[in-house]
């Protein structure tokens, strides 16, 4: 099964997104655009099964959809990783693992969905070592 608008809506059907035909609801076109963005940076060949691949692509699509909606809400203002906040005397600090904050991963750690994608993808980014029986000749 490949990721489609319908499969995306089924996976995220518990109120994560408000679907509809008019802004500010998430339209099918918004999901399609996020899916195009996700596919531009997605490597399907690193996942061992189609189910894991589709789940990872769905979370990456949700990440891009969330960043697109946030960009529209903020007028395109950048969003940075938050490490602490304070409201009415209550403070909260959130620590993201260092590997998520480094280099190219930092962008994906800015949303819950990007973090889920990183967790699903990380095992396949570290590489694999295979032993193949055989020998060489001089």
**What is residue 26's predicted lDDT score, i.e. its pLDDT?**
97
What whole-number distance in Å separates Cα of residue 6 and Cα of residue 24?
19
* pLDDT < 50: residue spans in the chain: 78, 80
**What is residue 100's predicted lDDT score, i.e. its pLDDT?**
65
Is the Cβ–Cβ distance between 93 and 83 less than 8 Å?
yes
**What is residue 117's predicted lDDT score, i.e. its pLDDT?**
85
**What is residue 66's predicted lDDT score, i.e. its pLDDT?**
92
**What is residue 92's predicted lDDT score, i.e. its pLDDT?**
63
Query: How is the chain split into domains, by residue range?
Result: 5-125
- pTM, full prediction: 0.67
**What is residue 31's predicted lDDT score, i.e. its pLDDT?**
98
**What is residue 53's predicted lDDT score, i.e. its pLDDT?**
95
Q: How far is CA 35 from CA 7, 63, 80, 86, 130, in A?
A: 12, 10, 23, 35, 33
Rounded to 10 degrees, what is the CA torsion of 11, 63, 95, 76? -140
């Amino acid at each position: 099964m490949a990721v489609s608008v319908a499969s995306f809506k089924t996976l995220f059907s518990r109120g994560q997104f408000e679907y509809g035909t008019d802004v500010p609801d998430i339209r099918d076109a918004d999901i399609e655009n996020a899916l195009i963005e996700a596919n531009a940076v997605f490597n399907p060949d690193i996942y061992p099964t189609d189910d894991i691949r589709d789940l990872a692509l769905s979370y990456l699509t949700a990440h891009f959809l969330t960043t697109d909606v946030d960009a529209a809400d903020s007028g395109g203002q950048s969003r940075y990783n938050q490490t602490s906040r304070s409201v009415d005397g209550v403070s909260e600090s959130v620590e993201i693992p260092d590997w998520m904050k480094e280099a190219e991963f930092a962008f994906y750690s800015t949303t819950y969905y990007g973090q889920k994608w990183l967790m699903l993808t990380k095992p396949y980014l570290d590489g694999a070592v295979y032993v193949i029986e055989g020998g060489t000749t001089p």
